[in-house]
Amino acid sequence: MKAFWRYAFVLLVAWPVMLFWLGLNVRHRDRLVAGGPAIVAANHNSHLDTLALLTLFPLELIPRIRPVAAADYFMKPGFMAWFSTNVVGIIPVVRDGRAGRDPLGECYAALERGEILIIFPEGSRGEAERMTEFKSGIAHLAARFPHVPVLPVFMHGTGKSMPRGTFAPVPFFIDIFVGEPLVWSGTRESFMTRLRETFDALRAELHAPEYT
């Protein structure tokens, strides 16, 4: 039943909003992974980010794509928790570290099942169209699964269309730049440096003459 709700969400919400209401341009689509296990690492400006990322993949992969999200926000009792887990398919992560167990435990299990994680290394949504410092949780995942590809994805426009604090998107074209997959490089520092450098290079493409 969860697969049905997830298919319906992508077909009836994500695709119409992203492809028809806003408009989407994807660069380097050929770099997208064809299956799991894999980790998609994206910058975070808006609730639209997850919708945009879901539209990048074939419909048959949707039940295996698992956005990682904050439990304190998305697991509030009631409809929000049901919708987040059954329709969006999130993996809730406790951010305050008081759960008494590894907060990434469900992420490990998902990768072992061959699923595709969506991770926002910045953590929470920041100021529209401004990247903040990356947190090291993604490095822990990469170190534990050194052969699983980490796919950097830079998005521009979601923060202008639906910035934090708003509840409906306004028409604004979305640009997505897919980076070359990364794998664990031996140390947390070197991996995080490579990840940040890749995002900086993708962001620079937005202003490249051949693109503008």
Give the CATH number, domain containing residue 81.
Answer: 3.40.1130.10
Please report where in the chains the tokens 């469900």 appear, as a residue. Answer: 106
Residue-number span of the structural domain to which 85 is assigned: 2-205
pLDDT over 90 (residue 72): no
Confidence class for position 210, pLDDT limits 50, 70, 90 = low
> In a 3-state reduction of DSSP, which class is residue 146?
coil
Do 174 and 15 meet the contact criterion of CB atoms below 8 Å apart?
no
210 domain residue, yes or no: no
Task: Centre a 10 Å sphere on the Cβ of residue 9 and count the other Cβ atoms it contains.
Answer: 19
Number of domains in the chain: 1
Mean predicted confidence (pLDDT) in 106-117: 96
132 domain residue, yes or no: yes
Number of H helices, E strands in the chain: 9, 7
The overall average pLDDT reported for the chain is 87
- pTM comes to 0.90
212 domain residue, yes or no: no
pLDDT over 90 (residue 153): yes
Q: What are the Cα distances from residue 156, in Å, to 12, 25, 48, 79, 148?
A: 23, 10, 11, 30, 26
211 domain residue, yes or no: no
pLDDT over 80 (residue 169): no
pLDDT over 70 (residue 96): no
Residue 127 confidence (pLDDT) = 61
